[in-house]
Amino acid sequence: MAITTTKTVAVTGNQAVAEAFRQLNPDVMPAYPITPSTGIMESFTKFVSDGKVDTETILVESEHSAMSACIGAAAAGGRVATATSSQGMALMWEMLHIASGYRLPILMALVNRALSAPLNIHGDHSDGMGMRDCSWIQLFCENAQEAYDNTIMAYRIAEHKDVRLPIAVNMDGFIISHSIESMQYITDEDVKKFVGEYLAIDPLLDIENPKSIGALVLPDYYMEHKRAQHQAMLNVKKVVQDVSAEFAKMTGRKYELFETYRLEDAEVAIVALNSAAGTIKDEIDRYREKGVKAGLLKPRMFRPFPHEEVGGALKNAKAICVMDRADSYGSYGPLFMEIASALAPFRGPVLFNKIYGLGGRDLMPLDVDQVIDETAEVAKTGKVKMLKEYITVRS
């Protein structure tokens, strides 16, 4: 397929995702407003009122009901999407397990925001990390373009016959959701062709073949269900790679399981998710000019986590700082634990963990410089002062 005509636009992350939703034209969209994801449902309900989509929107009374309605609609054979943030996702949490346990390919735009308490509406990854064990596929996005592209790819991944799992596309609240960036839209026609018609497998309301979903399973068979779910997760990696390769053919935009930036020969490596990667890349360029061999690894697919590939990409670094925008209190940051697992087979890099940006606190270039300086020092001495440390925080 030749690279298609695209349209350059200046939009917010929320508008970009709403546009992707319009082009995907889901059958049902249940949603409940919550800052900072509200813009997605507002833009989308306007598309509905203007007759630009065939979607049935359901303005439910809570996120628990939003996810429940998603599950009902998907179990009945519909293509379903919703958008939420923070407390909204937290309220959905019970139902997130039901969605994955029923093996329903529901799409969620998760605009990352800190969890209460204390109450905060700004971007961090505590919501996304709170759903990492819910058996949802999780993709993380640095900017509006990635959020749009991953949303366009989401159904192809989630609905694949070897997968059949729900999927969440993450972007940073406010930093991306509310900032206007220049990006490229794909034409409606190409999106339609790329996504294809949805063929629900075993939907309810098949009168000739009645069935039950979610039946009680006691110790005799529960584990087999969960083993099958684990297998589906194992299958995700190849599907993500295949879908991304096809997407690259259409758009020229290449997506891997993770992005590496000047990492090949890096001795000093940083690992970070989402929008912070942009700032870090700029600072890496400055340090490269000074002769410091610095590089970045930015995971795109967090669940399932590609440990083997990530380990392979990082194993030659001398020191690695993993930067987490969430904490697993009493342990290390969630991303750090993944990287530590990925590097377990290798004796090489010295690892340490920084917690940054909670509740939307800015990560400034100078903050990144301090992290690179410290990582370079660790690369030289092999000694880590503090294995886990909060940065840019009042003492």
Partner 1 sequence: MEKVFSRPSCLKNKPFRYCPGCSHGVLHRILAETIDVLAIRDRTIGIAPVGCAVFAYDYLDLDMVEVPHGRPPAIATGMKRSRPDSIVFSYQGDGDLAAIGTAEIVHAAARGENITVIFVNNGNYGMTGGQMAPTTLPGQKTTTTPAGRDIRDAGNPIKVSEMLATLDGPCYIERVSVDSPKNVLAAKRAVQKAFKNQISGLGFSLVEVLSMCPTDWGMTPGQSIEWVRTRMMKYYPLGVYKDTVSPSPV
Nearer to partner 1, 41 or 339 (CB): 41
Cβ-based nearer residue to partner 1, 49 or 231? 49
CB of 121 to partner 1, least distance (A): 10
143, two tokens: 């900017």
Our CB check for partner 1 shows the closer of 29 and 378 to be: 29
Does residue 56 belong to the site contacting partner 1 (CB under 8 A)? yes
Nearest residue to 126 (alpha-carbon basis) of 115, 142, 110, 136:
115
Regarding 119 and contact with partner 1 (CB under 8 A), the answer is yes
Shortest spacing between CB 61 and partner 1, in angstroms: 4
Q: Which is nearer to partner 1, 16 or 34 (CB)?
A: 34
CB of 29 to partner 1, least distance (A): 11
φ/ψ of 282, rounded to 5, equals -60, -45
Q: How far is the CB of 109 from partner 1 (least distance, A)?
A: 16
CB of 38 to partner 1, least distance (A): 5
What six digits make up the tokens of 238?
């190849």
C-alpha angle 211/216/221, rounded to 5°? 100
116 CB contacts (<8 Å, ≥6 apart)?
86, 87
Q: Which is nearer to partner 1, 91 or 104 (CB)?
A: 91
In the chain, DSSP finds a helix count (H) and a strand count (E) of 12, 15
Question: Contact letters (x/-) for partner 1, 30-49, by CB under 8 A?
Answer: --xxxx--x--xx--xx--x
* By the rule CB under 8 A, 94 interacts with partner 1: no
CB nearer to partner 1: pick between 38 and 353 = 38
The residue within the footprint of partner 1, chosen from 59, 180, 201, 387 (CB under 8 A), is 59
Which listed residue (23, 55, 68, 87) binds partner 1 by CB under 8 A?
A: 87
Position 117 contacts partner 1 (CB under 8 A): yes
Closest CA to 36 of 99, 117, 127: 127
CA distance 204 to 242: 29
One residue of 61, 220, 265, 289 binding partner 1 per CB under 8 A = 61
217 near partner 1 (CB under 8 A): no
Rounded to a whole number of angstroms, the minimum distance from the CB of residue 301 to partner 1 is: 31
CB of 193: closest distance to partner 1 in angstroms?
A: 30
Contacts of 161 (CB under 8 A, 6+ apart): 201
The CA-based angle 383-384-389, given to 5 degrees, is 170
Which C-beta is closer to partner 1: that of 57 or that of 260?
A: 57
Query: Least Å distance between CB 354 and partner 1?
Result: 29
Residues touching partner 1, count (CB under 8 A): 23
- Candidates 58-66, 69-77, 201-209, 378-386: pick the segment binding partner 1 (CB under 8 A): 58-66
Q: Note whether 128 and 167 are within 8 A (CB).
A: no
Applying CB under 8 A, does 120 fall inside the site for partner 1? no
**The one segment of 113-121, 123-131, 182-190, 346-354 that binds partner 1 by CB under 8 A:** 113-121
Which member of 1, 3, 94, 116 binds partner 1 (CB under 8 A)? 116
Strands 294-299 and 258-261: antiparallel
Contact by Cβ (8 Å): 158, 200: no
Which residues 6+ apart lie within 8 Å of 355 measured at CB? 323, 324, 325, 326, 327, 333, 388, 389, 390, 391
What is the nearest approach in angstroms of partner 1 to the Cβ of residue 210? 28
Q: How far is the CB of 70 from partner 1 (least distance, A)?
A: 17
Q: Per CB under 8 A, does 268 bind partner 1?
A: no
Please check whether residue 186 is in contact with residue 2, taking contact to mean a CB–CB distance below 8 angstroms: no
Residue with structure tokens 């053919």?
A: 249
For residues 358 and 381, give the distance between their C-alpha atoms in angstroms, rounded to a whole number.
30
Q: How far apart are CA 70 and CA 103, in angstroms?
A: 12
What is the DSSP track for 361-384? ----HHHHHHHHHHHHHHHHH---
CB of 43 to partner 1, least distance (A): 10
Give the footprint of partner 1 on this chain (CB under 8 A): 32-35, 38, 41-42, 45-46, 49, 56-59, 61-63, 87, 91, 116-119
